Chains A and B, each alone.
Chain A
């Protein structure tokens, strides 16, 4: 069974930093493209960023609103993908989900349960 478990969410002040983790199991993590998607409470979904598998080049891409502030990385030995979030803004408040796959090839085929990040003074 594929499982994804996010952790690291919480309350942080504007301008602060937070690191989210997503641990995967039940699949070959090193071959998976890993994504971060966020959802403001009661609102829609927004893609945040993605890291391809190392065999596919390990390329990292970001959505415009987070580029330069957020960093996606992976540790295939720990089957974990990370989202380092710096210079957080109030509008970054959201549930953050990790998801596997390519939107065009497989769709985002597995999702974690999400972790809530609240940016507030």
Chain B
């Protein structure tokens, strides 16, 4: 059971907008920045969002992040087949004194 639960799966059709959420607590998401990672099959994770809603250079603006209280969300608009991947949220946890990752959400593009 992850410290930061995420729904295990999500799906959408090409062109659709999907949202992936993660639910934390006051010791992690509630008091620290959230980042999001995309892991394509057989590859290393890749940073998509940092500081809740900032995109690194090269990440399309179809990806956006938000945070409210102890929860965070990743939205993907104009869904494409190449977006099929696992998505993880992460944040520093003050109680554990280290970063914690969400359990991950497997996104399927139908």
Instruction: State yes or no: do A and B come from one complex.
Output: yes
Does B104 sit at the interface, judged by CB under 8 A? yes
| B interface majority secondary structure | strand
Q: Which residues of A, 42-71, contact B by the 8 Å Cβ criterion?
A: 44-47, 50, 61-64
Indicate if the CB atoms of B47 and A107 lie closer than 8 Å: yes
Q: Interface size of B by Cβ–Cβ distance < 8 Å?
A: 27
User: For this complex, into which size category does the number of interface residues on chain A fall?
Assistant: 20 to 34
A37 cross-chain contacts in B, Cβ below 8 A: 45
Q: Indicate if A106 sits at the interface (CB-CB under 8 A).
A: yes
A interface residues, Cβ below 8 angstroms from B: 35, 37, 44-47, 50, 61-64, 97, 99, 101, 103-114
Say yes or no for B35: interface residue by CB 8 A criterion. Answer: yes
**Given A44-B104, A63-B96, A107-B50, 15 extra CB contacts under 8 A:** A44-B102, A47-B101, A64-B96, A64-B98, A103-B92, A103-B99, A104-B51, A104-B91, A105-B33, A105-B51, A107-B56, A109-B47, A112-B44, A113-B43, A114-B44
